[in-house]
């Protein structure tokens, strides 16, 4: 069965005819063409598919597209403003929060959700917020440092 | 002019990666693409008696269900010589060519559908019935039949035995002895990117967007599978989401995707599920090692005896250099090392970060810690006493070796002198505290590589080679090398990789990309600069990097050239025949074990490496930290578990196969000892990708002994083992 799905993706309203059993992950990647959101497991194990739904982190691989009808979806592609990287993205770049880069979009989106609800998290709060996101390359050290750097950069900019 | 090599340059591909714009294999979208899902065998050995696809075919959107009953016979022409990433004995698994089942999880059918969900649903509805055979599924059973690798009988094959003097007699005569067996379970790469391929045919030309560490070999293998010329296949792989060895070979699913695309006449995307990654691509083989060390009363080694048995598949013999570290890491007058393989009904193992070396070093370094105790010596002192001044295995001098400095700097920085001298003697509240250390080693390889360099009309340069970047920073380090040779700023150079149409590069593995491709990039850029200088008097070229770009642009304009190019192949010289080349390191670990609960924490891990020249300390340090965390997983959490009765992997998910998570990681530090090596390669680099994993697990296990007095001889060191249950 297919039905019309309307929602906003990265600030843009969309309407698509979408199968009822289509995952949000496949909707974003295959229908909306936003391949920045990644898949790393069979469901709920790795966090690579993390996106924001109404500011909350959500696993796109374990969410049906129709479940988020009418909501505000944000993906990694929506973070930069007019080509300028966000503070988090910039920090992940400079502090080497990324190696192969595959966990990075999910990692950044999970961190973004954290900073929206808690702009000044402690190291433990950062680790807890990213506890559902696996990385096999960096050993996490640089990822946590990246988020801390972004926190400071955001504070300095205020 | 100050060079960028050796500087902590930001990743050139960083903005693409943090922006979600880096394109991995499954991110390409050829128009009309459809989706594949694999059906796997539920038994470990036997024959497919019947395959019922009716229910699967009834799912809307399903285009085809491909299996041995309807697939054409493919050429599968033998490759001669075999690619170095393939086992030398046996035959790679062929997809859908007959009804035989050789291991549980083997691909037996492929569903193709318009949407991914349709393919997944239909794949679950394919019903197979089997004539079940007698599978070799129990390792302890299979290891009784273990035999030396077939390839050890051929020149260039990995050895099945190494001998120096009469080690058994020397061991019998030794006054201090260790005799222990160590078990390392199968370990899985678990890169976060799933293996995936998109295949598209245009008449008799095949294009593959694939997760691979070697586009050139992927091209050649697929050309042989389909019996078409190499030139008819193009493989594209600009970004690899981690691989650690799992994407060296072309696995059966790559051929399956290409076959499906041929049959349905549409581009086909096939991404393995996480569960399928545990049986469709390789893993580090389970290996049991018995080590006997003999020493005199002063702690000088008199005998090293090392016997290793590893699992392999029933259809290929995958062999590793497990017996190398015990043969060369310390000085010993006598040595006997034997390596045997136990064929089982499993899929073929493959190299995983520091293949073989990490395994052999694990057993040796655990045994050395036991010997230190038997000799009543500090473990670091024991290693210094047995320091190898030359490679006694190859009987060659080292090209360079700075392991002593690694020990000294590491011990100082870590505070090794404060190590509790007796096991289980230090307590901090309910924590038992212990220190441990181990040596690390990995050979420095190099292979021929070619690079193409081009100066463009605007004075910028573009450099290409069919290399790969699974995360360490190939894009960045090659850009640095090219920029330095051409005298240009980093942002005026663009390096591209990951396309089999580019000049050939060797496999992105064995820590040899920098040595091989880096040397080619250096040579090509040097040749290009020489061409430019032929056109222009050197005095008229500026010293300043900013001005160089304009100078090149003016030069090209004056000579009415659109571009200026050079292509150079860089070959290893004969130095590898005169010197033994290895990177070395020392790893130190502090461990805390909860006295009541057995919980193990690793508050501090320090690795000190001597790996020749470090091109980019920023990316290299980060790569080492990541590797060390891999070692932490090996020590404490990672274990692939088969059900010995049925030969099925039981923990085939990231929820059950435990890779380290954020909470496992505390203070991790990686340092580099400055080292000049004039022999390894023109850049003087040895590579750091593999060595970072070596030595970590034994350092942690040795620290657990120091903390608790308990010797754990099988990985991973879990709570029940430290509690002695
Ligand atoms: S893809 Fe792994 S949690 Fe969603
Ligand atoms: S950077 Fe590769 S998985 Fe995190």
Cross-chain CB nearest to B242 (options A93, A102, A139): A102
Nearest to B455 by CA among B481, B487, B499: B487
Treating both helix axes as pointing N-terminal to C-terminal, what angle do A104-117 and A87-94 enclose, rounded to 10 degrees? 130
pLDDT in tens, B196-215: 999 999 999 999 999 999 99
Distance, in Å, from the CA atom of A48 to the CA atom of A38, rounded to the nearest integer, reads 5
Say whether both A36 and A93 belong to one domain: no
Say whether both A57 and A96 belong to one domain: no
Q: Strand order of the sheet with strand B46-52?
A: B100-101, B46-52, B127-132
Q: How many CB pairs under 8 A join A and B?
A: 179
Element (H, E) at B72: none
Asked if the C-beta of A68 comes within 8 angstroms of chain B's C-beta atoms, the answer is no
Distance, in Å, from the CA atom of B32 to the CA atom of B204, rounded to the nearest integer, reads 18
User: Over pLDDT 90: what percentage of chain B?
Assistant: 91
Ligand 2 centroid to Cα of residue B343, in Å, is 33
Say whether both A30 and A71 belong to one domain: yes
Beta bridge partners of B685: B612
Confidence of residue B437 (pLDDT cuts 50, 70, 90): very high
pLDDT of the residue at B471? 85
**Residue holding tokens 């260790």?**
B178
Maximal CA-CA distance, chain B: 80
Say whether both A114 and A145 belong to one domain: yes
pLDDT of the residue at B509? 84
CA dihedral B675, B676, B679, B683 (to 10 degrees): 100
Maximal CA-CA distance, chain A: 51
> Which residue in B has a C-alpha nearest to residue A44's C-alpha?
B655
Residue B166 has pLDDT above 60, yes or no: yes
Point out the domain boundary residue: A27, A61, A79: A79
Say whether both A106 and A57 belong to one domain: no
The verdict on whether omega for the bond into residue B81 sits within 30 degrees of 0, i.e. cis, is yes
Residue B442 has pLDDT above 80, yes or no: yes
Distance, in Å, from the CA atom of B101 to the CA atom of B181, rounded to the nearest integer, reads 33
Residue B388 has pLDDT above 70, yes or no: yes
Confidence of residue B1 (pLDDT cuts 50, 70, 90): very low
Say whether both A9 and A74 belong to one domain: yes
8 Å CB contact of A85 and B15 = yes
Both tokens of B674, joined, read: 């400055």
pLDDT in tens, B221-270: 999 999 999 999 999 999 999 999 999 999 999 999 999 999 999 999 99
Point out the domain boundary residue: A35, A53, A79: A79
Both tokens of B240, joined, read: 């690899």
Mean pLDDT, rounded, for A133-143:
96
pLDDT of the residue at A2? 93
Residue A47 has pLDDT above 60, yes or no: yes
Element (H, E) at A152: helix A141-157
Strand B582-594 and strand B431-443: the pairing is: antiparallel
Strand B287-295 and strand B301-313: the pairing is: antiparallel
- CA B363, B366, B369, B370 dihedral sign is negative
Q: Which of A21, A80, A99, A129 is best to mutate for the B interface (most B CBs within 10 A)? A: A99
Mean pLDDT, rounded, for B148-175:
94
- Residue B562, CB-side half-sphere exposure with 13 Å CA sphere: 0
Number of structural domains, chain A?
Answer: 2
User: Which one of A46, A92, A103 would you pick to mutate in the ligand 2 pocket, going by the greatest count of ligand atoms within 8 A of its CB?
Assistant: A103
Residue A61 has pLDDT above 50, yes or no: yes
pLDDT in tens, B92-138: 999 999 999 999 999 999 999 999 999 999 999 999 999 999 999 99
Instruction: Determine the atom of ligand 2 nearest the C-alpha atom of A99.
Output: 1
8 Å CB contact of B24 and A102 = yes
Cross-chain CB nearest to A35 (options B27, B628, B660): B27
Say whether both A53 and A110 belong to one domain: no
User: Over pLDDT 70: what percentage of chain B?
Assistant: 99
Nearest to B358 by CA among B410, B310, B409: B310
Neighboring chain A residues of B271 at a CB cutoff of 8 Å: 39
Nearest to B104 by CA among B48, B52, B40: B40
Strand A12-19 and strand B427-428: the pairing is: unpaired
Residue A72 has pLDDT above 80, yes or no: yes
Tell me whether residue B578 is exposed, middle or buried, using C-beta atoms within 10 angstroms of its C-beta: 0 to 12, 13 to 18, 19 or more: exposed
Task: Indicate if ligand 2 lies below 6 Å from the C-beta of A130.
Answer: no
Ligand 2 centroid to Cα of residue A44, in Å, is 17
Q: Strand order of the sheet with strand B301-313?
A: B161-164, B335-344, B301-313, B287-295, B176-184
Confidence of residue B676 (pLDDT cuts 50, 70, 90): very high
Instruction: Determine the atom of ligand 2 nearest the C-alpha atom of A48.
Output: 3
Mean pLDDT, rounded, for B603-620:
93
Asked if the C-beta of A103 comes within 8 angstroms of chain B's C-beta atoms, the answer is yes
Say whether both A72 and A116 belong to one domain: no
Point out the domain boundary residue: A79, A108, A139: A79
pLDDT in tens, B512-567: 888 899 999 999 999 999 999 888 776 777 777 778 999 999 999 999 999 999 99
Say whether both A91 and A56 belong to one domain: no
Say whether both A125 and A73 belong to one domain: no
N-term to C-term CA, chain A: 49
The answer to whether the beta carbons of residues B321 and B355 sit under 8 Å apart is yes
pLDDT of the residue at A139? 93
Beta bridge partners of B310: B287, B341
Nearest to B407 by CA among B386, B425, B423: B386
User: Over pLDDT 70: what percentage of chain A?
Assistant: 100
pLDDT in tens, A4-31: 999 999 999 999 999 999 999 999 999 9
Q: What CATH code is carried by the domain that includes residue A51?
A: 3.10.20.30
Chain mean position to CA B11: 21
Cross-chain CB nearest to A101 (options B239, B623, B659): B239
8 Å CB contact of A26 and B15 = no
Nearest CA to ligand 2 atom 4: A135
Distance, in Å, from the CA atom of B532 to the CA atom of B642, rounded to the nearest integer, reads 61
Task: Indicate if ligand 2 lies below 6 Å from the C-beta of A129.
Answer: no
Q: Which residues of B are catalytic?
A: 690
Q: What CATH code is carried by the domain that includes residue A114?
A: 1.10.150.120
The Cα of A152 is separated from the nearest Cα of chain B by a number of Å equal to: 18
8 Å CB contact of A139 and B655 = no
Distance, in Å, from the CA atom of B285 to the CA atom of B35, rounded to the nearest integer, reads 32
Distance, in Å, from the CA atom of B355 to the CA atom of B336, rounded to the nearest integer, reads 21
Both tokens of B254, joined, read: 């790559």
3-state helix vs strand vs coil in chain A, percent to 5? 40, 20, 40
Domain, as residue range, for A101 = 87-157
Q: Could you give phi then psi for residue B690, rounded to 5 degrees?
A: -90, -45
Say whether both A31 and A66 belong to one domain: yes
Residues in chain A: 158
Say whether both A142 and A94 belong to one domain: yes
Contacting residues for B621 by C-beta, under 8 A, at least 6 apart: B670, B672
């Amino acid at each position: 069965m297919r039905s019309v799905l309307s929602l906003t993706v990265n600030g843009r309203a969309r309407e698509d005819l979408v199968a009822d059993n289509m995952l949000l992950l496949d909707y974003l990647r295959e229908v909306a063409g936003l391949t920045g959101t990644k898949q790393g497991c069979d469901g709920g194990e790795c966090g690579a598919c993390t996106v924001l739904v109404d500011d909350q982190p959500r696993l796109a691989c374990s969410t049906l597209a129709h479940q988020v009808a009418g909501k505000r979806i944000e993906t990694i592609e929506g973070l930069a403003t007019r080509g300028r990287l966000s503070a988090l993205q910039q920090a992940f770049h400079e502090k080497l929060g990324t190696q192969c880069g595959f966990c990075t979009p999910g990692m950044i989106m999970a961190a973004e959700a954290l900073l929206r609800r808690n702009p000044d998290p402690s190291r433990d709060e950062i680790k807890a917020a990213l506890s559902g996101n696996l990385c096999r390359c960096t050993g996490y050290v640089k990822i946590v440092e990246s988020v801390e750097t972004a926190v400071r950069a955001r504070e300095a900019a205020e | 002019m100050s060079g960028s090599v050796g500087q902590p340059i930001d990743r050139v591909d960083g903005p693409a990666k943090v922006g979600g714009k880096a394109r991995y294999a499954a991110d390409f979208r050829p128009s009309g693409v459809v989706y594949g899902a694999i059906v796997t065998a539920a038994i470990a050995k036997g024959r497919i008696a019947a395959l019922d696809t009716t229910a699967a075919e009834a799912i809307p959107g399903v285009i085809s269900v491909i299996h041995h009953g309807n697939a054409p016979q493919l050429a599968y022409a033998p490759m001669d010589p075999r690619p170095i990433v393939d086992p030398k004995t046996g035959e790679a698994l062929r997809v859908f060519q007959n009804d035989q089942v050789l291991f549980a999880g083997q691909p037996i059918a492929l569903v193709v559908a318009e949407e991914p969900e349709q393919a997944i649903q239909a794949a679950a509805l394919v019903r197979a019935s089997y004539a079940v055979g007698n599978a070799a599924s129990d390792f302890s059973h299979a290891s009784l039949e273990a035999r030396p690798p077939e390839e050890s009988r051929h020149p260039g094959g990995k050895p099945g035995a190494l001998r120096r003097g009469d080690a058994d007699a020397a061991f019998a005569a030794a006054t201090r002895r260790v005799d222990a067996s160590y078990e390392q379970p199968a370990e899985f790469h678990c890169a976060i990117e799933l293996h995936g391929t998109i295949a598209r045919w245009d008449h008799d030309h095949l294009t593959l967007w694939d997760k691979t560490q070697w586009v050139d070999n992927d091209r050649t293998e697929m050309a042989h599978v389909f019996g078409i010329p190499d030139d008819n296949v193009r493989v594209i792989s600009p970004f690899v989401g981690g691989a650690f060895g799992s994407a060296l070979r072309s696995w059966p699913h790559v051929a399956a995707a290409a076959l499906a695309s041929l049959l349905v006449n549409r581009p086909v995307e096939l991404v393995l599920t996480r569960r399928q990654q545990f049986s469709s691509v390789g893993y580090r083989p389970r290996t049991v090692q018995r080590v006997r060390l003999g020493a005199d009363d002063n702690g000088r080694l008199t005998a090293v005896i090392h016997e290793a048995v590893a699992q392999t598949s029933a259809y290929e013999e995958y062999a590793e250099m497990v017996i190398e570290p015990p043969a060369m890491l310390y000085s010993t007058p006598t040595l006997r090392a034997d390596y045997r393989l136990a064929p089982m009904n499993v899929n073929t193992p493959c190299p995983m970060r520091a293949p073989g070396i990490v395994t052999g070093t694990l057993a040796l370094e655990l045994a050395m810690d036991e010997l230190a105790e038997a000799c009543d010596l500090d473990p670091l002192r024991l290693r210094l006493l047995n320091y190898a001044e030359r490679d006694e295995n190859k009987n060659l001098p080292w090209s360079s070796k700075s392991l002593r400095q690694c020990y000294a700097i590491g011990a100082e920085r870590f505070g090794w002198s404060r190590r509790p001298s007796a096991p289980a003697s230090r307590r901090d509240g309910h924590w038992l505290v212990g220190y441990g250390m181990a040596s690390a080693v990995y050979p420095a390889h190099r292979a021929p590589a070619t690079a193409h360099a081009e100066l463009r009309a605007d004075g910028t340069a573009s450099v290409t080679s069919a290399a790969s970047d699974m995360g360490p920073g190939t894009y960045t380090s090659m850009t640095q090398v090219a920029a330095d040779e051409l005298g240009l700023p980093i942002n005026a150079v663009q390096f591209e990789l990951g396309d089999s149409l580019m000049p050939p590069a060797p496999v992105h593995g064995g820590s040899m990309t920098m040595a091989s491709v880096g040397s080619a990039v250096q040579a090509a850029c040097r040749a290009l600069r020489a061409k430019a200088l032929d056109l222009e008097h050197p005095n008229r070229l500026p010293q300043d990097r900013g001005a160089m770009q304009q100078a090149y642009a003016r030069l090209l304009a004056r000579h009415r050239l659109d571009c200026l190019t050079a292509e150079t192949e860089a070959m290893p010289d004969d130095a590898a025949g005169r010197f033994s080349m290895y990177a070395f390191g020392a790893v130190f670990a502090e461990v805390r074990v909860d006295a009541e609960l057995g919980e193990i924490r690793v508050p501090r891990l320090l690795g000190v490496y001597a790996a020749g020249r470090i091109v980019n300390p920023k990316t290299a340090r980060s790569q080492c930290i990541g590797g060390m965390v891999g070692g932490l997983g090996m020590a404490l959490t990672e274990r692939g578990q088969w059900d010995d009765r049925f030969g099925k992997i039981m923990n085939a998910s990231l929820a059950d196969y435990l890779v380290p998570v954020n909470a496992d990681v505390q203070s991790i530090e990686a340092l580099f000892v400055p080292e000049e090596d004039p022999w390894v390669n023109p850049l003087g680099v040895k590579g750091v990708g593999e060595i970072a994993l070596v030595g970590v697990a034994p350092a942690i296990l040795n620290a657990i002994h120091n903390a608790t007095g308990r010797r754990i001889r099988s990985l991973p060191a879990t709570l029940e083992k430290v509690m002695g249950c």
